[in-house]
Amino acid sequence: MLNQKKIALTQSQIMTLHKKVSDFSNQYTKPLRALRHRYKEDMDSIEGYPAIRQKLLDAELIFEQQEQSLLLAILTQLLAEQTEHMPPEFHDNLNLYQNGLTKTKSSAIDFNIGHMVKLTDLNQYLV
């Protein structure tokens, strides 16, 4: 979206966004998602499983919306600070993001979900 609007972020800004959302996700969203998956494995032994599952899904969605709100709030703050200074020359934000991640974690990221995730699959974890 930022690329389409020709809004450039710095490597530092991109990594700040990634860290803040990842921290929230690791603390709240992912544990709830893991709990929902564990419940699914034992669904036959859990009384009222469909209702519990739906409530967990609803809570997970709220956490995902919170991640998006957090992302937008931080992005708004970063862009406001950026306009106080000279904005960077436009570049491809996605490439800059991928380059920043590969500096810290080779060519893939381990999200502690049991397998490696390709950089092209990140949206499912960050959205």
- Give the pLDDT score at 28: 96
Low-confidence ranges of the chain (pLDDT < 70): 83-91, 96, 102-127
CA distance 110 to 118: 9
Token pair for 78: 């970063």
- Give the pLDDT score at 48: 92
- Give the pLDDT score at 29: 96
pTM for the complete prediction?
A: 0.65
**Residue with structure tokens 């060519």?**
107
Rg (CA), the chain: 18
Strand partners, 62: none
